[in-house]
Amino acid sequence: MQNGYNSNIIPPANNEPTIIKTDVGSKNGQEKCPRCGSTDISTNTNNGKLRCNFCRHEFEPEKVSGMVEDISKLQGQVMGSGATDIVADTNEVLTFKCSSCGAEVVIDTASLSQARCHWCRNTLSVNEQIPNGSIPDVVLPFNINKETAKLEIEKFVGKRKFFAHPKFKEEFTTENIMGVYFPYMIVDVNAHANFIGEGEHQTRKYFRGSGSNQKAYFDADLYHVEREFDLAISGLSVESSLDKLNNIALDKTNNVINAIMPFDVENSVKYNANYLKGYTSEKRDTNIDQLRTIVDTEAKDIARFTANETLKEYDRGVAWSNEQLNVKGQQWKAAYLPVWLYSYQQVNKDKKILHYVAVNARTKETMGSVPIHMPKLIGVSFIVEILGIIAMFLVDFDYSFLFLLSGIIYFLIMFIRYRNANARHTYEIDTKKNITNLRKVDNFIKSEKGLTNSTMNGANNKRVNGETSTSKIFDSFTGQNISNSVINSVTNSSSIASFIKDNIEKGGKE
Ligand SMILES: [Zn+2]
Ligand SMILES: [Zn+2]
């Protein structure tokens, strides 16, 4: 980073937050089908609507009312009543009188939001919010059924059978996959962004020298660049359980659950316990204050990538010296979002790793981690290495020394393809946003000749600050610091390093 770099996020004025009651009209107790009076109501996964399981009557989903719809008008802190701070000494056990037979029914809201009356078998629900994090403002219903999710998981694992651990191959079955509602915060942000810096546009690329001494040179035009705009971000989603926020956990592959975002959160509906019937759910255990830094950092990354859409002519990059995000308003909603989850515990001596394969139960987006049979992968990588060394002597190629790395590169590509340690939610691109009042300054400074770097020195416009470093995760899995040292130090040509990195990233996709 160059000297004088200045970056800040100005939070909204510190007034009392506006709390919008989202459980208006919600009732605890029995909810009866208006047509037949049954209380056996659950989600129809073909369309995500609630349905009476007795007479098949379908309920029209209810939307939460009172939240700010036009994000560009959002001021200060706004939150749904289901997103307010968790109160530690909340009484989590509720006792109801069954309205059909008069019996007492106890529901421990720490783990359940529904219970059946032992005597008359009617279902009783908790729909009114209690401050223990168990009742969110909204829920996004499952609309991918279990059979479809099973197929997606089998397809994903099927493509990764060759190097899969034999014990895993033997034990793999999708019979025990679970439908889980994980807790998230859905955040809207109204902000003003201001970026100031310098950008470079390539005008010429040429070569000097010959044979192995040939070298590439670049000419470029340097500009003073400014971008200032209003930015409305809608539906940014972040995990709100401490466990899932830990994306670099060593004992479980949480990052694959992170990677199946985004969800179509705009289709979320008002919370109703009947949506949870047949699924498990995990309670929220964080408050907005704990998530604020993550949200602010991600909002700023989104602003930077939004600016990039107006910077296409700066093909060598832009080096911002000043980045400012002035947050005028923020709106928070607590949500349950639906995930189909396969999990497998790999035990290797005293080390345990929980591998997940997760399916977004709205979009079918699937990501996972498959345990690797290391002796086989190392063996095949070794053969690739030998072939690479032979190829080095046979092929006339400027960077033929790269063949020396072929075994390691093969190992890395396969490792990432099976374990997906670098998978994450690319929120900086995927989040919905709207940009208005764009002000652009592009002032020519000078032409530069004979540059040796293919990209601008100090360019920082593609930086993602909220990203957990790929190599850090990778190294934590392997227990060795090899990924970056292999990729960066052996090759000092940045274009080759990025070629390898690109291919490793491609290897992990699908
Ligand atoms: Zn009915
Ligand atoms: Zn009863």
Pairing of strands 18-20, 76-80: parallel
Task: Determine contact, residues 96/104, Cβ cutoff 8 Å.
Answer: yes
Ligand lying closest to the C-alpha of residue 116:
2
| Whole-number Å distance between alpha carbons of 225 and 400 | 40
pLDDT tops 50 at residue 231: yes
How far apart are the CA of 44 and the centre of ligand 1, in A? 13
pLDDT tens for each residue of 192-205: 999 999 999 999 99
Give the residue-averaged pLDDT of 453-460.
94
- Segment 377-403 shows an average pLDDT of 84
Residue 500 has a pLDDT of 53
Residue 429 CA, ligand 1 centroid: distance in Å: 44
Distance 54 CA to ligand 1 centre (A): 5
Ligand nearest to the CA of 59: 1
Distance 127 CA to ligand 1 centre (A): 20
- Which string of DSSP letters, residue by residue, matches 441-454? EEEEEEEEEEE--S
**Once rounded to an integer, what is the mean pLDDT over residues 360-369?**
97
Q: Which ligand is nearest to the CA of 54?
A: 1
pLDDT score, position 5:
79
Looking at all shown ligands, the one closest to residue 34's CA atom is 1
Distance CA 125, CA 147 (A): 27
Quote the pLDDT of residue 247.
77
**Cβ–Cβ contacts within 10 Å for residue 398, how many?**
12
pLDDT at 3: 52
> 251, exposed or middle or buried, with CB in 10 Å at 0-12, 13-18, 19+?
exposed
Residue 478 pLDDT > 50, yes or no? no
Q: Are 158 and 196 in contact (CB under 8 A)?
A: no
CA angle 156, 358, 143 (to 5 degrees): 105
Residue appearing with tokens 């990729």 = 487
Q: Does position 405 have pLDDT exceeding 90, yes or no?
A: no
194 CA distance to ligand 1 centroid (A)?
Answer: 56
Dist. CA 40 → ligand 2 center (Å): 13
111 alpha carbon to ligand 2 midpoint, in Å?
21
* Whole-number pLDDT of residue 481: 43
Q: Which residue has the higher pLDDT, 275 or 248?
A: 275
Cβ pair 128, 109 in contact under 8 A: no
Q: C-alpha angle 168/341/257, rounded to 5°?
A: 100
Q: Is the pLDDT of residue 210 over 90?
A: no
pTM reported for the whole predicted model: 0.88
Token code pair at residue 475: 């190294």
H helices of 420-461, in order, are: 427-430
What DSSP character marks residue 164? B
pLDDT one-digit tens code per residue, 260-292: 999 999 999 999 999 999 999 999 999 999 999
What single DSSP character describes residue 44? E
Cα distance between residue 372 and residue 353, in whole Å: 12
Ligand positioned closest to the Cα atom of 100:
2
Under 8 Å between Cβ of 294 and 145: no
The mean pLDDT value for 441-450 works out to 97
How many Å lie between the centroid of ligand 1 and the Cα of residue 57?
Answer: 5
Q: Give residue 490's pLDDT.
A: 38
Phi-psi region of 463 (alpha: psi -120 to 50; beta: other; left: phi over 0): beta
pLDDT at residue number 398: 67
pLDDT over threshold 90, residue 296: yes
So what's the pLDDT on residue 88?
86
For residue 475, name the pLDDT band (cuts at 50, 70, 90).
very low
pLDDT band (50, 70, 90) for residue 85? very high
**Amino acid letter, 133:** G
Residues, beta carbon < 5 Å, ion ligand 2: 98, 100-101, 103, 117, 119-120
Cis amide bond preceding 262, omega within 30 = yes
Chain length of the chain: 510
Residue 504 CA to ligand 1 centre (angstroms): 53
**Beta strand pairing call for 351-360 and 317-348:** antiparallel
Task: Give 97 Cα–ligand 2 centroid separation in angstroms.
Answer: 8
Give 149-178 pLDDT, tens digit per residue. Answer: 999 999 999 999 999 999 999 999 999 999
Report, as an integer, the average pLDDT of 343-349: 91
What band does 495 get if pLDDT is binned at 50, 70 and 90? Answer: very low
Residue range 85-114: average pLDDT?
89
- The 10s digit of each residue's pLDDT in 415-428 is 999 999 889 999 99
Query: 217: helix, coil or strand?
Result: strand
**C-alpha 55 – ligand 1 centre gap (Å):** 4
User: Which is more confidently placed, 241 or 1?
Assistant: 241
Say how many Å lie between the CA of residue 157 and the centre of ligand 1.
40
Coil, helix or strand for 82? helix
Whole-number Cα distances in Å, 369 to 247, 343, 419: 13, 9, 4
Cα 494 to the chain's mean position, in Å? 28
Angstrom CA distances, 156 to 38, 153, 217, stand at 40, 5, 44
Q: Which ligand is the nearest neighbour of the Cα of 35?
A: 1
Structure tokens at 108: 């421990």
Cα–Cα distances in Å, from 492 out to 296, 329, 402? Answer: 35, 45, 12
State mean pLDDT over 314-342: 97
Distance 51 CA to ligand 1 centre (A): 8
Both tokens assigned to 214: 């040939």
| Tokens at 80, concatenated | 């749904």
